[in-house]
Structure 1
Amino acid sequence: MTTTSHSAIPFHVPVVDISAYVGAGTDDERAEVATAVDAACREVGFMQVLGHGIAPEVVAGLATAMDGFFGMPPDDKRRWIRPGGENRGYTPPRSESLSLSLGVESATRMNDFFEAFNVGRAVSDYPGATLLEEHYAENTWPDVAGFEPHVTAYVEEAGRVATTMTTIFADVLGLAPDFFDTIADHSIDVLRMNNYALPEGTRVDLDGDLTGMGEHTDFGIVTVLWADQVRGLQVLGGDGGWYDVLPADGALLINLGDLTARLTNERWLSTLHRVKPPLVDGTVERRRSAAFFHDGNAEAVVGPLASCVDAEHPALYDPVSVDEHIRAKLAGSRAGVRNDAAHREAARVRASGAV
């Protein structure tokens, strides 16, 4: 992992081997993992996990599928644009502004130059369940050889890693082993495959306006991120500096979402991050990532845990439904509607000097 230091103490994203929770670890081995995860959640809000159990060929299949789709001509990709409220299908470059999900008016709106393709858990995945259907739209699959099976295989594995992480979270927080099942047994789960690149031959002068993905926090419980080992992802440190983060060999990046920060009354961090892909010889160096968002049941109501509130730590949040929270966030990033409910996160963006 490479980091850029902005202070005497280098910023560090911890690397945690979670194999004791993936396989048959002993109680002592699991306790060691839980301690390391707790420290990462308190101090950084990001970690890298090894021992996650996703086979290299599954990751390679995902990368192949992404290359096949994003390598198509622009007009072919646009065939897969879905209605804005569905959070599925293709997102062209410069059609979102993630900073608005935090209630921050950025200087240039809808200027995040990444493109993406989203798939997620659908109504058909939860037969018999009563669902708020707008969060569980059926998927469409582009006519790219191998795309659906490769992506589906990765979604299953990323979902397993996400639930492994929530099992660890429950242990750390002293919760019942099934606590997260009660709020995430039919979770809004979305895989967002991202491509950071400008059309071949485009030369730019990076003057501060060109943003791969604007400053934001993730919305839900936990995010499982696969990414190329290419600079671009930057995480906001406690000192207000932005730090480059590159994944270690074979590692997945894990970060907490707003709902977990809310549950823990900010004992754990939902850390601000952004993407600023580097310029190489006047062109943007291509970078790929795939973020699996595990966001919880749409109707679940999330507020600070009683164990995280006391006289010295009063409740920082009112309870909110996952549906209400996610819709406000998406209205900011997709429709340009400033999310005024995200005042705590917006204050951190402004304090960093990012806007």
Structure 2
Amino acid sequence: MSKDIVAKLDDKLRAKRESFDKIPLVDIAPLLDGSNKQMVAKEIRWALSNTGFMYVKNHGIAQDFVDSVFDVSRRFFDLPMSQKMTLHISKSDVALRGYIEPFGENTDPGKTKDLKECFDFGPERSTLEGPFFGPNQWPSSLPEFRELTYGYHQKMVDLAKKLLQGIALSLDLSESYFENLTRNPISIQRLLHYPPQSGCVGEEIIGIGAHTDYGNLTVLAQDDVGGLQVMNRHGDWIEGIPIHGTFVINIGDLIQRLTNDLYLANMHRVVNSSGRERYSIPFFIDADFNAIIEPLPSFVTDSNPLRYKPVICGEHKFGRFAASYAHLAKA
């Protein structure tokens, strides 16, 4: 790889290292082992009502295993473009499984182009069942890829469901509240690669344009490069600095709707100005496709009136994706 060349950022792309001020760090061991779930729930409530983001540590997933998934992800993205394009996401129809080339997905299509490439997969299905549910595509030239990445996906499902239990407790709901909404949830495991940018970087082309996530919850593993930026209530961009051994957790639109804006699905973006290759591994868990999401009565008051109409989870999510993918727009 060539010598790192740090990019010069447009002023609008600079992130501050101060107020929210920073993303809180939550030790979730007492949630996972049951020793003090309410203490963790209290910390989750503060984090998600103030920032919509948190780091979690002591999450029970070995760092060596996470590192091995990063390694096989790098090897996948190093494959020739011709090989990766044989797995293109358009070949999976509405299941949305496979490879996405640079600029193939644009999360803020009216303003930016996303300088990233991705590989998406999810729960195994033998046939196309509908949006988000269908067969995965796997690279034949990396025989260990499927076992490692799908094993990671399964660990993410388990961790995300534990985190949803903590979120339920933080909202004074039954610990099992989300189980009825996630019996067969939409979930997407993604591998991401951000090429380095050099020269003057403006808002038109960055790693990922500003957006909120579409579903319930995101669990993100970062490498050590950095580039994640989160917007605070004042409109300032705050750096989501990588912390070894942690995951970054953020909520999406569905939980913001469910809580009638008590919890924030915060705007975030990626600006890779490091001069280095950046890799990350996000996992997204939503609700069941036909789950109806609307504000719970306990969060609708005279001072905080009803803000959202009911939406069907899968229709909401597919509508957001359709605006980002060219092949869906043509469908």
TM-score by length of structure 1 reads 0.83
Q: Secondary structure of the equivalent of 1:65?
A: helix
What is the CA distance between 1:303 and its match in structure 2?
0.2
Deviation at 1:177, TM superposition (A): 2.8
- Structure 1 CA distance for aligned equivalents of residues 176 and 124 of structure 2: 23
Identical amino acids, percent of aligned pairs? 31
Deviations 1:211-244 (A, max 9, x none): 1111110010000000112121110111101121
3-state secondary structure, aligned to 1:133: coil
Q: Which runs of 5+ in 2 are unaligned?
A: 1-13
CA contact (8 A) 2:225 2:274 kept: no
Figure out how many residues of one structure are paired with residues of the other and give that number: 313
Distance 1:331 1:50, change over 3 A: same
Equivalent residue for 1:75, pick from 73, 79, 82? 82
The answer on 1:298 being equivalent to 2:278 is no
| Distance of aligned partners of 1:146 and 1:132 in 2 relative to their CA distance in 1, 3 Å threshold | closer
* Structure 1 residue ranges without an equivalent (≥5): 126-130, 339-355
Alignment of 1:201-350 (within 5 A): 204-280=199-275, 285-335=276-326
Match of 2:101, as an amino acid? P
Task: Report the 3-state secondary structure (helix = DSSP H, G, I; strand = E; otherwise coil) of the residue aligned with 1:225.
Answer: strand
Q: 1:191 to 1:22 in 2, by over 3 A?
A: same
1:113: which partner in 2? 115
2:58 equivalent to 1:51: yes
Quick one: which of 132, 135, 138 aligns to 1:135?
132
How far apart, CA to CA, are the structure 2 residues paired with 1:333 and 1:122? 24
Aligned to 1:12: 22
- Tell me by how many angstroms 1:279 deviates: 4.5
Give the C-alpha shift of residue 305 in structure 1.
0.6
| Coordinate RMSD, CA, aligned | 2.2
Per the TM alignment, residue 45 of structure 1 is displaced from its structure 2 partner at its CA by: 0.2
Q: CA deviation at 1:203?
A: 5.5
CA offsets, 1:24-81, max 9 Å, x none?
x32xx22111110000000000000001100122202211220110011111111110
Change in Cα spacing, 1:41 to 1:132, as seen in structure 2 (3 Å) is: farther
Indicate if the aligned counterparts of 2:192 and 2:280 stay in contact, CA closer than 8 A. yes
The 5 Å alignment of 1:121-160 reads 121-123=123-125, 133-143=130-140, 144-160=142-158
Alignment of 1:151-230 (within 5 A): 151-197=149-195, 204-230=199-225
1:21 has 2:19 as partner: no
Q: Distance in 2 between matches of 1:134 and 1:197?
A: 29
**Residues 260, 243 of structure 1: alpha-carbon distance in 2 compared, 3 angstrom cutoff:** same
Please give the alpha-carbon distance, in whole angstroms, between the structure 2 residues aligned to 1:152 and 1:337: 25
231-240 vs 116-125, which moves further? 116-125
CA distance in 2, matches of 1:238, 1:79: 43
Post-superposition offset of 1:245: 1.1
Residue type at the aligned position of 1:249: H
Q: Is the 8 A contact 1:18 1:51 kept in 2?
A: yes
Give the match for residue 342 of structure 1: none
* Cα shift at 1:145: 3.2
CA distance in structure 2 between the partners assigned to 1:96 and 1:166 by the alignment? 28
Q: Distance in 2 between matches of 1:336 and 1:236?
A: 30
Alignment partner of 1:92 out of 96, 101, 125? 101
Match for 2:174: what amino acid?
A
What code does the residue aligned with 2:217 have?
Answer: V
Residues 45/336 of structure 1: CA separation in 2 closer, same or farther (3 Å cut): farther
Give the CA deviation at 1:4.
Answer: 5.2
Secondary structure of 2:23's counterpart equals coil
Structure 1 residue 209: Cα displacement:
2.3
The reply to whether residue 61 of structure 1 matches residue 58 of structure 2 is: no
- Structure 2 distance, partners of 1:190, 1:328, is 16
Query: 2: distance between equivalents of 1:208 and 1:308?
Result: 36
Structure 1 residue 276 displacement after superposition: 0.6
Provide, for residues 270-295 of structure 1, a one-character-per-residue CA deviation record: whole Å limited to 9, x for no partner.
00000110153xxxx21101110001
Over 3 Å off, 4+ runs: 3-7, 122-125, 202-205, 335-338
Relative to structure 1, the CA distance from residue 249 to residue 188 in structure 2 (aligned partners, 3 Å threshold; closer, same or farther) is same
Secondary structure class of the residue paired with 2:55: strand
Letter in 1 for 2:132: H
**Cα drift, residue 186 of structure 1:** 0.6
Name the aligned partner's letter for residue 186 of structure 2.
I
Instruction: Tell me the TM-score normalised to structure 2 length.
Output: 0.89
